[in-house]
Amino acid sequence: MTVYRTIERFADPQASKTPVQKEPEPDLGTDIIPKERYTGEAFRQLEWDHLWTKVWQMGCWEGDLRNTGDYVVTEIGNESIVLTRDEDGGVNAFYNVCSHRGNQVAYGRGGNTRTFKCSYHLWEYNLKGEIANVPDVETFPQGVPCEKLAIRRLPCATWGGWVWFSLDPDIEPLSEYLGIIPEHLDPYHFPEMTLVNDVTVEWDVNWKASVDAFNETYHVNSTHPQLMSWLEDMDVQIDCYERHNRYLIPFGCVSTHIEDGTEISDGMKGFMMMNHLDPSSFEGNGLDVRRAIQKNWRANAESLGYDLSDLNDDQLTDDYHYLIFPNITLNIHATSLMLFRQRPHPSDPNKMFYDLQNYTMVPKGEATPPRPLHRQFKHGDESLGEVLDQDSRNLPMVQRGMNSVGYRGLWISDQEVRIRHFHKTIDDYLFRQSIKIT
Amino acid sequence: MGYVRAIEASLAPGDHTTVEARGWDLLVVNVDGDYLVVENSCTHAKAELSKGRLDGSEITCAEHGARFDLRSGACVGPPATQSVPKFDARVKDGFVEVKIDKIKVARRPQFGPMN
């Protein structure tokens, strides 16, 4: 496709708190990415042994652990994990399993409690997973050593308004694992945002195909034709870091693939209204909208109840889109955040759980909306909104194709280099760990 | 809810019109004497199907060329992949009545630019 324009970038990189300089292009080769990575049982097991049990994982929104005794049950693979806020104000993660006979101790998705009581024989644990009470304790001739029988704890820490845990007791500190992420994203003040949408969709696709679907803009023109009139799909800055990566997608501009960039479509008008710029009184054309929104935010953010002073101008319109390896995708705007968490199915590489959360910055003086109820449903049973419906429609067909004898593997363009970087990082985990001599 | 009166049954074969009913934008076409009704919106990029080209019971979207069979609503040509909502219609007392069981409600509130 012809490209008719370039996108004007933020003028002064030094003035931006979020680093904006382009990273050097990674040299990741041009090989086919084998399809077996998405379909094979052997690869699924490798991922469990060397990836899922070796990384930091986002466990829950910290807003769900605001008060002492708040707890959340989260699941990854076959493991169920309890996250708690204890009496000392700390966060804890431990396996959801009773040390007595192996039953679970926390039920449902979460709540508030003083202790966890196993439903089988009423063994009781405190908010740190330590033994609080064992009925008929005198009938255990071997004793009930509290230290030995505390539920196995996991590394647990907070960043960005979320509680993170790892199944690897020896993992590096969260801050080290996150690397560049806090420096890049703290200017958005995620911990001050509020959760407004919380769903889980059961998808018939490998978890990586779902991650891939959001990490390239090559598909915008074909899958989301309606977006071409109000965001850029070609002139997108891609940066790959050690294990995480990002791209910066200009919003509020007509795609540079469209020759006439002056039109202001209904989609563009919607984006303008969402950014408090009235399209009916706007005198510029489509080429002026992006800068006009940025100026408008600078002039009016404070009176609208927002403090956007830590963000650069481009952040006031664009989607700063990050992948926190391996499975957290963040679509970040000045006052809103859309988060995806892809979780693998416990046994079937052709299935996954797609967690979709939206967060919003509530303006000063406005009431915080109540926490939305979590909903879980099968793909297709409910709409996720037009754009995500378009994305998700492709995916079951992609998974069927991956399983076809007629398909070899992923043939990747430069526009899709984040996918290559993602797989390279997966390889770093899978094969670094397996050759490590311990 | 059932049938709702949409237009006067005065279209000549091969002619079409648009009408709004119970929140739906509808395309009404007279194909060989049968009134066929679908949502007036291409499932690819939301263009108005009424601006497309009619060939028998098949309509080709003017925007990107997606094709639909108006008798079933089925998509029969790319780049669309989803069928277009199809509504049963009947002629009664000189009017075309369309069976609409569900009011099309306004979009739910937006959480962010993308959903």
What values do phi and psi take at A190, rounded to 5?
A: -50, -40
Number of domains in chain A: 2
Residue A438 has pLDDT above 60, yes or no: no
Q: For all residues of chain B together, what is the average pLDDT?
A: 90
Residue of A nearest to B63 (CA): A225
Q: State which of A98-102, A385-389, B19-23 shows the largest mean pLDDT.
A: A98-102
- Residue A187, SS3 per DSSP: helix
User: What pLDDT shows up at residue B105?
Assistant: 61
Number of domains in chain B: 1
Of A196, A222, A386, the CB nearest to B111: A196
Same-domain check for residues A245 and A328: yes
Residue A143 resides in a domain: yes
A294: domain CATH number?
3.90.380.10
**Which structural domain range is residue A74 located in?**
56-170
Same-domain check for residues A288 and A405: yes
- Tokens 């002039």 correspond to A299
Same-domain check for residues A319 and A388: yes
Cis-peptide into A326, omega within 30 deg: yes
Of B64, B82, B112, the CB nearest to A338: B112
Same-domain check for residues A192 and A137: no
Mean pLDDT of A115-120: 97
User: What pLDDT shows up at residue B112?
Assistant: 85
Residue A244 has pLDDT above 60, yes or no: yes
Alpha carbons A38 and A404: distance in angstroms, whole number: 12
**Cβ contacts of B112 on chain A, cutoff 8 Å:** 331, 333, 336-338, 358, 360
**Which structural domain range is residue B40 located in?**
3-99
Same-domain check for residues A105 and A201: no
User: What pLDDT shows up at residue A127?
Assistant: 98
Same-domain check for residues A198 and A278: yes
User: What pLDDT shows up at residue B104?
Assistant: 74
Same-domain check for residues A191 and A247: yes
DSSP assignment of A120-140 equals TT--EE-TTS-EEE-TTGGG-
Residue B13 resides in a domain: yes
B51: domain CATH number?
2.102.10.10
Same-domain check for residues A227 and A248: yes
DSSP assignment of A358-407 equals EEEPPPTTSPPPPPPPPEEEETTSS---HHHHHHHHHHHHHHHHHTSTT-
Alpha carbons A220 and A233: distance in angstroms, whole number: 6
Domain endpoint, select from A122, A141, A170: A170
As a whole-number percent, the residues of chain A with pLDDT over 90 amount to 93
Alpha carbons B9 and B92: distance in angstroms, whole number: 8
Residue A435 has pLDDT above 50, yes or no: no
Q: For all residues of chain A together, what is the average pLDDT?
A: 95
Same-domain check for residues A112 and A36: no
Residue A108 resides in a domain: yes
Tens of pLDDT along B61-99?
999 999 999 999 999 999 999 999 999 999 999 999 999
Residue B79 resides in a domain: yes
**Cβ contacts of B114 on chain A, cutoff 8 Å:** 319, 331, 338, 385, 387-388
User: What pLDDT shows up at residue A352?
Assistant: 98
Mean pLDDT of A298-309: 96
Same-domain check for residues A293 and A373: yes
- Residue B105, SS3 per DSSP: coil
Tens of pLDDT along B98-109?
998 877 765 556
User: What pLDDT shows up at residue A362?
Assistant: 95
ipTM above 0.85, yes or no: no
Contact B115 A388 (CB under 8 A): yes
User: What pLDDT shows up at residue A434?
Assistant: 45
Residue A243 resides in a domain: yes
Residue A128 has pLDDT above 90, yes or no: yes
Mean pLDDT of A110-137: 97
A141: domain CATH number?
2.102.10.10
Residue B104 resides in a domain: no
Mean pLDDT of A101-113: 96
pLDDT tier at A380, thresholds 50, 70, 90? confident
The residue that leads in pLDDT, B53 or B101, is B53
Residue B39 resides in a domain: yes
Residue A220 resides in a domain: yes
Distance of residue B60 Cα from the nearest chain A Cα, in angstroms: 17
